[in-house]
Amino acid sequence: MRYLVVGGVNFVFTFIVFTLSLKILNLGYVAALLLSWITGNILTYTLNFLWVFRPEARLTFRGRFLKYMAAGALSVSLNLLALVALVELGRFDPFWSQVALIPFIIVFNFSTAKFWSLRKNGVRK
């Protein structure tokens, strides 16, 4: 449940960053997306580290953070590939295609955090 709360907070946060970057900072949409993705990943890494998974007593931005960012990059890349396939090849609506992909993205992101990037030391599952 905590993971879903963090996801909801991240959704609101990244939407605000994207909108401000686009409308106030006048960044292009790709730059706005990258800025919101990077800042959102830093936010979710911190919240997931401290509140959801607690793999260590102290928050660190070393190996775990790099793994978390790599998993996030893979996630957004797979999301983009699936979305393009659904829209361009399947001729499905982009909005509803993304809505349909969200549960898969959530499961993928949760799994990579729990079993790889934010796994507690010495715990194998």
Specify if 25 maps to a domain.
yes
DSSP, residue by residue, 72-110: HHHHHHHHHHHHHIIIIIT---HHHHHHHHHHHHHHHHH
State pLDDT tens for residues 2-39: 999 999 999 999 889 988 998 999 988 778 888 988 99
- Residue 45: give the domain boundaries: 2-117
pLDDT level of residue 94 (50, 70, 90 thresholds) = confident
pLDDT at 123: 52
125: in domain: no
Q: Does the residue 109 lie in any domain?
A: yes
Q: Could you tell me the pLDDT band of residue 121, with boundaries at 50, 70 and 90?
A: confident
What pLDDT digit, counting tens, does each position of 33-66 carry? 889 889 999 999 999 999 999 999 999 888 999 9
* Total number of domains in the chain: 1
Tell me, what's the pLDDT at 93? 85
Nearest partner of 47 among 72, 73, 10, 102, judged by Cα: 10
pTM, 2 dp? 0.81
Structural domain includes residue 69: yes
Q: Is residue 64 part of a domain?
A: yes
Identify whether the C-beta of residue 58 lies closer than 8 Å to the C-beta of residue 52. Answer: no
- State yes or no: pLDDT of 124 exceeds 60: no
Residue 62, SS3? coil
